[in-house]
Amino acid sequence: MARARFFLLVMAVLAVPAEAEPQSLGIFGQWGAFRNSDHCYAIAEPAAPHRRDGGRAFASVGDWPGRNIRGQVHFRFARPKRPGSAVLLRIDDRTFQLIGGGADGWAPDAAADAEIVTAMRTGVAMSVETRSESGGLLRDAYNLRGAATAVDAAAIACAG
């Protein structure tokens, strides 16, 4: 059940052609790890996904060896954020300010990516929030159980 759910999530989120379907590297707690032709990533849905409106939210950590990118953090909200609205990430008692546009949020640089991934490794809970275009709160909560293993599986798959 969990494998099918993650596979469907990845297919819907990344909308890749059939010949480029991602290879599952495993499901670890609430996180899955996958490999595509040009990148590898760990990905999870929010603990309580919003299905009634908008797209599918997710959190991911990706590696693109061809672009020399490792451990890049990315969040997708179910709806676009309000321009100029802050994007805040909380991992247990730590808070990080992200940058964002449209329905996406990222760490501002590689150093922040590394700091966030380190916090994810030892964290229990993570949430990301911003304001929607209409001014309502967009907030997604994630369980970090399995995140470290999924991130490692993706990194190892793209290292070789």
pLDDT tens for 91-148 read 999 999 999 999 999 999 999 999 999 999 999 999 999 999 998 899 999 999 999 9
pLDDT tens for 55-105 read 789 999 999 999 999 999 999 998 999 999 999 999 999 999 999 999 999
Q: Which of 150, 154, 93, 151 is nearest to 126 (CA)?
A: 93
Helix (H) and strand (E) counts in the chain: 3, 10
pLDDT tens for 43-54 read 999 997 665 566
Q: In the chain, what are the domain boundaries?
A: 2-13+22-159
Considering the segment(s) 2-13+22-159 as one domain, its CATH architecture is Sandwich (2.60)
DSSP H/E element including 6: helix 2-14
pTM here is 0.83
Which residues, at least 6 apart from 11, have a Cβ–Cβ distance to it below 8 Å? 21, 22
